[in-house]
Structure formats: C-alpha cells, structure tokens
Amino acid sequence: MEDINYIKHLNAVFVHISKDSRLNPTHISLYFGLFYLWNTNFFRDEFYINRDDVMKLSKIGSRTTYHRCIKELSYWCYFEYLPSHNSFHGSKIRMFNFCTSGGQVMDSSQTKNCTSDGQALVSINKHIQTVINKKNNNKPQSFKNSNFQNSKNQNKQQAVDQYQDNLKTTTDKDYNEPL
C-alpha cells in the first residue's frame, strides 16, 4: 500500500465517523483497535488478526458483539474482513486508506457496495426487517389492536400492584412450612 500519513488518516477517519449515524462506541473502539494493529504491522495491505487480542484491545467482552461489529464495519466499507474458519490461522483484514493524496476520503476502487461517501447501498439487516414486516402484516388488524390493549392494561395493573406491595409477599405466612 502507498505510504499512510498517520495524522491525516486519523483526522479523515474522525470526520467520517462523526458523519456516520450507524456507528456506536463499540464499532469505533473496534475500528481503532484494528487501526492500532495495522500501524504495528507497518500499514501492510493485508494483515492477520487474533480475535482475542482484538477484543482485548477494543474492550469488547462478548464474542457475539465482536462478530456483529466487525461484519458491520466491513459491510459499511471501513475495511475488508476475510474471516478464517481455522482456529490456528487468524482472520485477514484489509484496511482502506481514508486519506489519499487527492484529498478523497476513500479510494472507490478499494470498496465494494459503497456509495461515494462510503455508505453501504443496502442495510445489513434488510432481510431481517423484511421477514418481520411480512409476519406482522399477515395478522388481522383487530387482533393486533386487542393484543396491544391487553398488554397495556396488564402493564398498568402491574405498576399499581408494584406500589402496593414491593416484595410481592402475603401477610399470612406459616413459618413452619419448608421453603
């Protein structure tokens, strides 16, 4: 890869992250953990990572969260993630240069499924949302409303009961009965 200017790249990444509303602190922490490893690998085109090391660097405690975030960041064109399904061989990462000599945020030849501003063309959860919407649209409208009203009434009743007896105990107790 061409020479990476550490400061210019970080400044461009900060600007890009501030404009991207999809990111949460876990995504950002993971990106900067990978950026650190990229730096220690002398900004090579590709480098291998160890999941446990990256999780420690980015302070992620859950493997599920780690995998969700790394796949989303890859899909959103922050880097390319090539998972290894071999536990003895790390996954491969290909970082993208956010600060090119031409002043562009990203080199479009490096990214796939991205618009000029780096946004993914299709949401990663699009298929999940479609399935949920189809399931909800198959129910009759009156059934949905009655369920909503019933659950609303139950929640009100639970709130009232909670204030009357916080411990939810009865006053008639027989201490001779075993627990």
Query: What is the strand order of the sheet 79-82 is part of?
Result: 47-49, 91-95, 79-82
pLDDT one digit per residue (tens) for the chain, 179 residues: 568 899 999 999 999 999 999 999 999 999 999 999 999 999 999 999 999 999 999 999 999 999 999 999 999 999 999 999 887 889 999 999 988 655 444 444 444 445 445 554 444 554 444 445 555 555 555 545 555 556 555 655 555 555 555 566 667 777 787 77
CA–CA separation, 117 and 105 (whole Å): 8
| pTM as predicted | 0.59
